[in-house]
Every structure is written in C-alpha cells, then in structure tokens.
Amino acid sequence: MDFSFTEEEEVFRKEVRDWIKKETPKRWLELDPLLWEETDESWAISREFQKKLGQKGWLAPDYPKQYGGLEMSHMKRLILAEELSYNKAPVGVETEIAVNWVGPDLLLFGSEEQKQKYALGVAKGDLVITLGYSEPNAGSDLASLQTTAVEEDDEYVINGNKIWTSYAHYADYCWLAARTDPNAPRKYDGISMFVVDMKTPGITIHPLINLMNRHSFNEVFFDNVRIPKENLVGKKNNGWYELMIALDSERSGIGYAAMFQRILEELVEYAKERKCDKDPIIRQKLAEMAVEIEVSRMMCYRIAWMYSKNLHPNYEASMSLVFLSEMMRRVAQVGMDIAGPYGELEMDSKWAPLRGKIERLCLNCLSIGVGGGTNEIQRNIIAQRGLGLPRK
C-alpha cells in the first residue's frame, strides 16, 4: 500500500506550512497552550486566527462552497489538520467542536435555513458552539439523559442541566440533546437534537475549574428555556442517531498524531540537553513512542481514506480514540521519566523543563479517554461493531 501523498498534495502542505508560519502570532507561541488551557488572552488570539482561516475557506475546508467551505478532498483536509497541529497554530478544541463535530451533523440533518445560519457561521469562524450532552447522572450511559424538551404551541420548553459543557461561557449556541418522548419504548428512541441560543432567558452557567486551574468546563442549567420549534435539528426523536454520527466525528482524532510528533521531538531535544540521550532505557521509551505515534497516524489516515470513499468510520473512530488517549498518557509518563522531579514544576517556574509542558501534559491527559465516551465504552463498540461479539 502506498502511503505517500501526490505532488499536488505536497505543494498544498508547503502552502499551509508557510501560511501558518506567517500568520501565527509570536505571543501564541510564548503561551503554547495545550488542550483545555484557554485563558482570555489565548482565546482572543485563537478566535482572530480562526476567522483568518475562515476567510481562506480553510476552517471548514470540506464543507460545500455555499456553506463556507472549498469542497476540499479529505486527504488535503488531513494535511491541513496535520500542519495546524504540528506547527502549533492557534486552533483550539472549540474549533473541533463547531467545525468537525457539530457542523457535519447540521449539513446532514439540518434544514436549509439552519445550514445557512449555523454551518455557514461556523465555517466563517463567527460562531462558537458548546456540546450539551453529559449530565450529572448520564455520562457513559448517555441515553439516560433527563433534560426535557416539551412542545408548547410554536416552542419547545427545555428543563434540566448539562455538565462538562466545554466553553459554554464563550459559546453562542449549544448543540443540545434533550428528551422529547419520555414514554418511548427504548430510552434511545425519545431523544432529539436542538440548537439553543446561549443568550436565551433561563440559562445559567456555573464554571468548573479543571486540574490545570483553567476555566474551560461548565455546568449549564436550563430553567423553562423557550426556543422556537425550528431549532429542532432533523426529525423529532431521531436525535440518538444524529448524536452518534457527531460522536464518531469527535472520536476520529484526525491531526492529533502530528501534535504528539511535535511533542516527541521536543522531548528528544530535552533528553539531549539533559545528557540522558545515551541511556538505553530512555532511548527505548522514546523509540516506543515514535512507533506508537506512527500507528496513531496510520489510524487517522485510514479514517480520512474512509471519508474520501463516502464510508462512515464507526468502530474505527473508537479504535483511534482508545489508542490516542492511552498513547497520550504514555508520552506524558516518558516526559516525566526524562525530567524527573523537575517535570512536576509549573510553567511559571524558571526550572520547569519545556516551559512546564510535561506537568501540563500529565494533568491534561487524565481527561482524555473519558471525553467522547470512556475507553471502556469504546472497547465495547469495537468488540460489538468491529468484531461482531455479543452484547452480553
């Protein structure tokens, strides 16, 4: 099998790389945020950069042209994602949420008006969308969610609360899963998807501070929140299917392997500085990480190829997420092995190696393998849908 890119694709890669180098502010590279590390300053930088991407059609490059995209091939989209990740471009998780998780669902199931209003706004970089999935008593068993949306005249009235709602305090809209038929024979059958304006009366946002002492997560309460009926996306009570499509997009992880390739390269340079690059144990661990990152990259390439053939990756996306999340934890541990006690220092310490990246990576990696469905859930999906094993 030939994994090489065409000459045209390599030209495109250089174009992207040069553009990122030109447009990425120096201050962003000084901040060097990882996942879930947003501050008001880094948020402002990333939002401005993403609007520049939107102006080029590179924010949602595979979207149809009438909705702000370029109808770019999935392999070029992969190249774009790799270069943005590897070169530390100011693109955060909020972009993944709006562009790659919610946007495709809107294009598949939304009305023309919804596509023009939301998908186009996402592609331009004008909209931030938060996910209204998990609840205090409905995480891995998401179909047990209890937030309700009840029809009243020309509206739906929403009551309930959501948790771990990333960037809800910045978001323009919430992509909300709510129960519309509490009497459905199966709990999966009574769920619908909505787009909810976060400025609607009755919405209260409480911050949740993460392990890195950053405010990225929230708990959101809906108290008699009234939204127009036209904010229902797709068919009523068909939300579980729509939600699963969005989750498969979330789990694919296209581009993340390139980010860890950059981190590995930084760890190799740090090992040389520490004069431990000749240590056979350290060399072995770094080599293992190099191999695992390439495996992760091939999983991402497979998913991109499937999209290019109009195939939908399901258990393949779960495989990618499980491998990526566990690899991330191993990379963090290798960094700690190299740095020793210094690896525990935060970024404001002058003694912190790699400006505290190792400590931040160790804290950050704990949530990976939980978000998007725990690794235990992913293994069930792989077993049942990939291997054909029985549910019990």
Note the pLDDT tens digit of each residue in 37-93: 888 999 999 999 999 999 999 999 999 999 999 999 988 999 999 999 999 999 888
Which residues partner with 150 through β-bridges? 157
The answer on 376 and 262 residing in a single domain is yes
The pLDDT score that the predictor gives to residue 251 is 64
Q: Tell which of 192, 211, 243 closes a domain.
A: 243
Residues 79 and 136 in one domain: no
Q: Whole-angstrom Cα distance, residue 281 to residue 95?
A: 38
Shared domain for 221 and 334, answered yes or no, is: no
- Asked, for residue 51, whether it belongs to a domain, the answer is yes
Quickly list H helices, the chain: 7-23, 26-31, 40-56, 74-86, 93-95, 103-109, 112-114, 120-124, 239-251, 256-273, 280-308, 315-339, 357-364, 375-381
pLDDT at position 303: 87
Residue 342 DSSP one-character state? G
Map tokens 């009243």 to a residue: 152
In angstroms, rounded to a whole number, what is the distance separating the alpha carbons of residues 274 and 164?
A: 39
Measured distance CA(9)–CA(231) in Å, rounded: 39
The predicted pLDDT at position 178 comes to 98
User: Do 363 and 274 share a domain, yes or no?
Assistant: yes
Active site residues: 250
pLDDT of residue 365: 86
73 assigned to some structural domain: yes
- How much is the pLDDT for 1? 52
CATH number assigned to the domain comprising residue 138 = 2.40.110.10
Q: How far apart are CA 171 and CA 234, in angstroms?
A: 22
Q: What is the pLDDT of residue 88?
A: 92
pLDDT of residue 339: 94
Instruction: Report the candidate in 86, 172, 165 with the shortest Cα–Cα distance to residue 125.
Output: 172
Q: Hey, what are 343's tokens?
A: 């690896």
Q: Are residues 225 and 310 in the same domain?
A: no
Q: Do the domain assignments include residue 375?
A: yes
Residue 219 lies in a domain: yes
Last-in-domain residue among 36, 62, 91: 91
Residue type, 131: L
Q: Find where tokens 């020793």 sit.
A: 340
Residue 221 β-bridge partners: 161, 204
Q: Are residues 238 and 269 in the same domain?
A: no
Task: Report if residue 283 sits inside a domain.
Answer: yes
Domain end call among 223, 243, 263: 243
For residue 321, give the amino acid letter.
L
Has residue 96 been placed in a domain? no
Per DSSP, helices labelled H in 100-206 are: 103-109, 112-114, 120-124
Please name which of 182, 177, 187, 314 lies closest in space to residue 239, comparing C-alpha atoms.
177
Indicate the number of domains in the chain. 3
What φ, ψ does residue 354 adopt, rounded to 5°? 50, 40
For position 373, what pLDDT does the model report?
Answer: 78
Residue stretches of the chain with pLDDT short of 70: 1-3, 250-252
- Kindly state whether residue 33 falls inside one of the protein's structural domains: yes
- Provide the residue range defining the domain that includes 49: 7-91
pLDDT at 372: 74
| pLDDT for res 369 | 77
Do 291 and 237 belong together in one domain?
Answer: no
Instruction: Return the CATH number at 32.
Output: 1.10.540.10
Q: Same structural domain for residues 74 and 167?
A: no
Residue 1 covered by a domain? no
For residue 250, what pLDDT is reported?
A: 67
**200 and 235 housed in the same domain:** yes
Strand bridging mode 232-233 / 173-179: unpaired
